[in-house]
Structure 1
Amino acid sequence: MSYDEMGMPGSATYLDPVPESRLYSHESEYAVIGSMIKQSALIDELSANLDRNDFHHPACAEVFEVIQACQRNQIPVDIVTLAEARPMLSDGQRMLAVAGTMAQNTPSTANAAVYAREVRRRAVARRVVMAAQSMIESLQDGAALDDVLAKGQQAWLALEAEGMDTSRRYRFVGEILPEAINTVDSRFNRQSILGYDTGLPSLDHYVTLSPGRMIVIAGAPGSGKTTLGLGLAERVAVHHKATSLVFSFEMEDDELVYRSIASIGQVPLKHLTEGHSMTDDDWPRMTAAVSKLMDAPLVLCDDASLTMKDIRQIGRTVKRNHGLGAVVLDYIGLIPGEGNGSRYEQVSAISKALKRLAKELGVPFIVLAQLNRAPNTRGNKRPTKSDLRDSGQIEADADVVILVHRDDESDEGKAGVTELIVDKNRHGPKGSCNVQHQGAFHRFVELIGGYRFDSEDDDDRPFAGRQYGKGRASA
């Protein structure tokens, strides 16, 4: 008897011996079919994650197909009804003999689910091998490496989804309730937390950095959105000791480190970058900041050529190797798109992918974004979530939208008073708070005196009082 490269028999009967392989288990395939015949109540359960192509043996695939047809037509399944539906198999064997022997030799229907999982696992393994072979052939034919890798990743993601047990993708509420109550109890007793705080108590009133949520921070150029995003990453890494992964498409990693030293150590960034302007007070502050950062799980990635698939892979790798507390991405408008669609369509696809990745990684995903010029046409120049640039899909996908607003032409703006507008919040209240931007240190701190803007509408109102001050960092 001859076999092809995948071990596929030619005119073999189902009982013929076959070469052993990790790519298939004919015994499991026989047992799945036999279990369906012996106990028809198992057909729907076993078929949930199987299709005809999952069976390596042609006879098993064909019998499975006939069983499915009988089930759809509400015909009771046994060896007789199967033989009546299709007396002869394509390879010339009699259905009655094949189905009867499969049922007779099935060890136990109690293990039917185990047999089905084994069939599925081997089927996915065969597809992995076939995908790899296809990639090799494409490379040998001269295809571009990036194109081959992109297709390979798409194939792997599809295979991952195929390998999932459908029954585990949904649950009844009664199964979830005990977990939910235990979570409430553990949070009440301070044994677990909903998420990470931002380090700004006035912002914490509205926002918690919770797992699986996509938090969009948007602002005009120079408003401080990068400062706020990096500050949140520092908070998670330095204060909470959880790994923070920062993707920067604008700055080099050494620039980000200088900013972190300035922020944590209260050392003017200008002094750090110049070097010669460092003062006697700056050195011990820099040393203290370096000491905190040295052991902080803050991961920086400054590769501006990263695509969405690269971001996904790096996120998975960091989580697997180091754990992951939060991800910051600066900024969405700079991520290269895939395909030939418009930039609007590309950014929309990227936004959806980031939202899915936040859920997959189970961490807060802080995405920075630009605003369009619409706020400049308003009297008070205050932005809204509809001013997000590139795609309206960003607003739709976001769980939270924080708009960074500072009017540098006003007295309060010149003093660093910055309004953080929470314009969308799926899990909490909307509103705004006011913080102090310390430009020299590139950080935001609480505003002493708690200055509040007089109005949140589009009317111009006079500035009421000088209630802002130098600000103070949160503990």
Structure 2
Amino acid sequence: MISQDYLDCMQNESRLHSPEAEHALIGAMIHQSALIDDVKLEVGDFYQPDCAELFELLLALKSKGRQIDVVTLSDARPNLADGSSTLAVAAHIAHNTPSVANFAEYARIVKQRSVARRVIAAAHIMTERLKDGEPLDEVLAQGQQAWVSLEAEGVDSRKRYRFIGEILPEAIDGVDRRFNREAVLGFDTGLPSLDKFIPGICPGHMVVIAGAPGSGKTTLGLGIAERVALVAKSTSLVFSLEMTDVELTNRSLASVGSVQLKHITEGHSMADSDWPGLTSAVGRLNGAPLIFCDDASLTMRDIRQICRTVKREHGLGSVTLDYIGLINGEGKSASRYEQVTDISKSIKRLAKELGVPVMVLAQLNRGPANRANKRPTKSDLRDSGQIEADADVVVLVHRDSESEEGQSGVTELIVDKNRHGETGFCRVQHQGAYHRFAELVGYQPSSEEVEIGRTFAGRHRTKGAQHDSF
């Protein structure tokens, strides 16, 4: 049974439909049939039955290449469904059309009122389903799909594109502000040698950080996320489908406080010299805009919803996903390859939608293990080649555990894809005890030496830690 509130809402003409806009839109298309191709509406978007029927008739005549005016409309269908004369109705509408020039505005009003009616209808359906005892999770999941679709349809199409002349002032203003050090391109990584390749972790970009298990990809991803929160003072949202939020917090305490993670995890091994560092880290992290989500059952729909909530309530600077291979697919019948392909595309869309960088951690396949130098390439990304295609930047974390330098923590960060900068590699020091990377100062081998696996010559020292500037 339909509720009275629902009926009352549907009868509110001023908000849910506009007879004037619908008639003016039909009249404009009768006057200029070329406009029919420009309107992005369906028959169901019209509330007035005569307008819906005339629009259907206009589409039919246009598709057949026939000339359109009130006479040809009447010839194709002499009477409308209610028995009224097509000629009389069409002539009345055409005669009373205020202006063909305002066609786009009429279409916008009709579309937005249509979406508003469908929002109310969708909410009513969800209400009735819940009253019938259907599971809340199922109703919410289907409802969310409907909201996303309706939200996209309700956006004014005029706002979806801009002429370059409209964009230039914004672009030049950005150049001027960066020149005067009033703004930066994006978030830095805290590793100057890596920042030479990546001038900024930029809004809207999908940054893939990949490596073999234990290589340090989580260390790098979490380190950048911490820096966004502690240095840029911007909300940093981290999804971990592999570790708990307490484990992530322990790693942040270790890296920020320069306290060995082993001591923090064990507790009993904490030395007197560790407590000042731990206290300092607590002081810096407490109240920091760093958010952890450790729900291992997340799908991309869940992640999108959480991101939107955080952005609305706290603002949002960056998102980190650890890692893509653990995100649950939504198509149960699809293969894992197809699922990850869809997930990757969704992540790229999410970055643009939110206007923030999304850092995606990923695993590598076994390809590097079969090569002499063990160095990975972006084609070694596991599960789907779509990840490589969607990424704006791909950073490969590589440490050769069989070499002397690898055993001492020397790690290559290979920028193997960079849409907005150079590719190349740098070497940094992995300080595993503190769960962080630091700059490496010393001999830098040539690319030829790296290719032939020449022994890393010379002594090295680290210069500070990634979070020394926190």
What is the TM-score of this pair, normalised by structure 2?
0.90
Is 1:442 matched up with 2:420? Answer: no
Instruction: Find the partner of 1:116 among 107, 115, 122.
Output: 107
Task: Report the more deviating stretch, 62-71 or 73-82.
Answer: 73-82
Q: Does the aligned pair in 2 maintain the 1:434–1:450 contact within 8 Å?
A: no
CA contact (8 A) 1:219 1:369 kept: yes
| Amino acid in structure 2 at the alignment position of 1:209 | I
Residue 70 of structure 1: how far off its partner (Å): 4.7
Q: Deviation per CA, 1:58-83, whole angstroms, max 9, x where unpaired?
A: 11111223334455566665434433
Report the alpha carbon displacement of residue 326 of structure 1 after superposing the two structures with TM: 0.7
Q: 2:274 aligns with which of 282, 298, 302?
A: 282
Residue segments in structure 2 that go unaligned for 5+ positions in a row: none
Q: Which amino acid aligns with 1:387?
A: D
- Match for residue 418 of structure 2? 425
Aligned to 2:231: 239
Asked if the contact 1:218/1:371 (under 8 Å) is kept, the reply is yes
Cα distance per residue 1:47-101 (max 9 Å; x no partner): 5232221101211111223334455566665434433443211221012221233
Instruction: Select which of 385, 393, 406 maps to 1:400.
Output: 393
CA distance in 1, matches of 2:393, 2:134: 42
Equivalent in 78, 95, 104 of residue 87 of structure 1: 78
One-letter identity of the residue aligned with 2:325: G
**Is residue 219 of structure 2 the alignment partner of residue 227 of structure 1?**
yes
Shift of 1:385: 1.1
Alignment of 1:71-150 (within 5 A): 71=62, 77-106=68-97, 112-136=103-127, 144-150=135-141
Identify the match of residue 173 of structure 2 among 182, 204, 210: 182
Give 1:352-363 correspondences, 5 Å limit.
Answer: 352-363=345-356
Change (3 A) 1:314 1:19: closer
Q: Compute the RMSD of aligned alpha carbons.
A: 2.7
2:50 to 59, 74, 86: 59
AA at the equivalent of 1:431: G
Paired residue secondary structure (2:177):
helix
State the AA in 1 paired with 2:249: V
Query: Following superposition, which runs of at least 4 residues in structure 1 exceed 6 angstroms of deviation?
Result: 4-7
AA matched with 2:375: R
Correspondence for 1:331 among 323, 334, 338: 323
What displacement does 1:266 show? 0.6
Secondary structure of 2:186 counterpart: coil
Match status 1:173 vs 2:164: yes
Report the CA distance shift for 1:315/1:171 in structure 2 as closer, same or farther (over 3 A).
same
Equivalent residue pairs, number: 460
Q: Give me the whole-angstrom Cα distance separating, in 2, the residues matched to 1:48 and 1:32.
A: 9
Say if 2:257 and 2:278, in contact at 8 Å, map to a contact too.
yes
Contact 1:49 1:166 in 2 (8 A): no
TM normalised by structure 1 equals: 0.89
Residue of structure 2 equivalent to 1:12: none
Encode CA deviations 1:216-273: one digit per residue, 9 max, x unaligned.
1111111111111000001111000111100001111111111111111111112222
Is the Cα–Cα contact under 8 Å of residues 438 and 462 in structure 2 kept in the other structure? no
C-alpha contact 1:436 1:471 (8 A) present in aligned 2? no
Distance (Å, rounded) in 1 between the aligned partners of 2:104 and 2:367: 59
Q: 2:207 — aligned with what?
A: 215
| Aligned counterpart in structure 1 of residue 370 of structure 2, from 360, 372, 377 | 377
How many angstroms apart in 2 are the aligned matches of 1:205 and 1:91? 71
**Whole-Å separation in 2 of the counterparts to 1:36 and 1:162:** 22
SS in 1 for 2:270: coil
CA displacement at 1:463 relative to structure 2:
2.7
Match of 2:252 among 238, 260, 271: 260
User: What is the identity, as a one-letter code, of the residue corresponding to 2:327?
Assistant: I
Partner residue, 1:15 = none
Equivalence for 1:292:
284
Once the two structures are superposed, the pairs formed by residues 33-44 of structure 1 within 5 Å of their partners are 33-37=26-30, 39-40=31-32, 43-44=35-36
Q: Do the aligned partners of residues 352 and 174 (structure 1) sit closer, same or farther apart at CA in structure 2, a change above 3 Å counting?
A: same
